[in-house]
Structure 1
Amino acid sequence: MARTRKLFAALTRRGPHQVLRGDLAFAGLPGTVYTPASGFNLPGVAFGHDWLTSVDRYEKTLQHLASWGIVAAAPNTERGPAPSVLNLAFDLGTTLDIITGVRLGPGKISVHPTKLGVAGHGFGGSAAVFAAAGMSGAGKTAPKAVAALFPSVTKPAAQQPAAALKIPGLVLSSPDDPQSLRTDAQDLAEAWPGAVLHIVRKGKSAGLAEKRHFTRVLGVPGSDRRTQKTVRALLTGFLLFHLTGDKAYQEFADPEVVLPNTEKPDPAAEPVTPEDRIVALLK
């Protein structure tokens, strides 16, 4: 565990690679892509944004992944007040098609078609689950890993496709998620046979998005650096293990390991009722 703590501390900081930024619009899809400065057959991940949130608010997180050798691309679609989780899921699949189908940067960067992952925050976390399920059932190469970071409640709900997934998953939750009407991280993790659940200690479910945002006037908490630092380490370690096979990061994918700044659900805790969630909302 001492080695894992050391790796975790390293993963909270930028990695060794210089990072380049590109535009997905060259392939007809609004969005951005961040890559290491060079490298062939790299791992790649498509990242989904939260409700009413631009991908620009994940700039440092995407840069962080790229600095550790992972091509990270994010479609900037479905940003209206009533977005479709299925449409965003489709766009995440298209994003993976783009980054695997063309040479990136100055022609010195490519993504291996079997080293793919899907991830997302909030609304985008649920979309990532649908994307993985859609790719698995459409005859395409299924992603090797999926990460739902503080996933939001969506219609349709992500629990049904998650229950059928045979892909390893990372689900992150905040301590107050069980009382929230907005998120269902722990319910999603319970429905997903291959999911690893971590509760981010002192984490804020909306805190991964960077910079200030107008949704704060709606009562949605803003950017939180503590949350960002922990989530980036957990996500990067999880992806490095599953997408590259680097066994140094194996404990980041172990459901029994309690990683730094995280905790596991209390098995003795009373189930939270819908009434409890409404009361928590009114406090």
Structure 2
Amino acid sequence: MAAMSSADQIAGLENVGLSYDGGKNFILRHVSLTLHKNEFVALLGPSGVGKSTVLRVFMGLTAPSEGRVVLSDEAGKLPQEKTKRRKQALVFQDARLMPWRTVAQNVAFGLEGLHLTREEKTSRVLQALKLVGLEQAAERWPRQLSGGQRQRVGVARALTVDPDLLLMDEPFGALDPVTRLNLQDELLRIWEQTHKTVLFVTHDIEEALKLATRIVVLSGSPAGIAGVLEVPENQKDPLSEAFRINSARLRAMIAGEADPGGAPYWYSGQI
């Protein structure tokens, strides 16, 4: 992985392809994507297209067969033994909490291996729990939490390592609609407070339009980037005509059809 030269770039994929059988069949092909500081990017596409795989490539959990992953070096300037933060953190679809650990202990799990004092770890955990509104639940056990609260713990665990890039793999997909809407609002508040770069995987068009400043569509077989839609703040009202038009554009991208609106912020192919 190479260091990036542009000051506002956090991470990127350059012409990435992924095959598990030596190149006979590709899951991803020719995927290029750049993520910038403080932006909220939704990776949108149908179930099974490879969105979660893209997150695994960014995390370094899966090595690409072609191309390369590019990361900023801001989190890597200190020697490994002095590192106090991580470049990336991943929030899963289910919180994956350890039932034998309290809420605070689950949040602290991500700090293991970092060069932090006990006081620094405690401070990080309490700050993260306060950010997600669970500071009063620090000593509870996972079984005592609702589904939405467990997901908040997962977000807190990711934030406590102070990542440059927060990767989220359909974190609200298993929740009921009311809880899901509430956590979407909470996530936007957290993003605005922390200024993290977020890459959020979803197959829900309305969720992508509500949350993201930019939506990247992954489709096809092998999967590639079909297009990107910039989402200005004044186009996020689900009752607006702009929201309806953008929904139609995203459906067209996913289906591989022509853009029905011809908007200037539609781009086809690599980004």
Report the TM range for the smaller structure's normalisation. 0.3 to 0.5
TM-score with structure 1 setting the length: 0.34
TM-score with structure 2 setting the length: 0.35
Q: Which has the higher contact order (CA 8 A, sep 6+)?
A: 2
State the structure with more CA Rg: 2
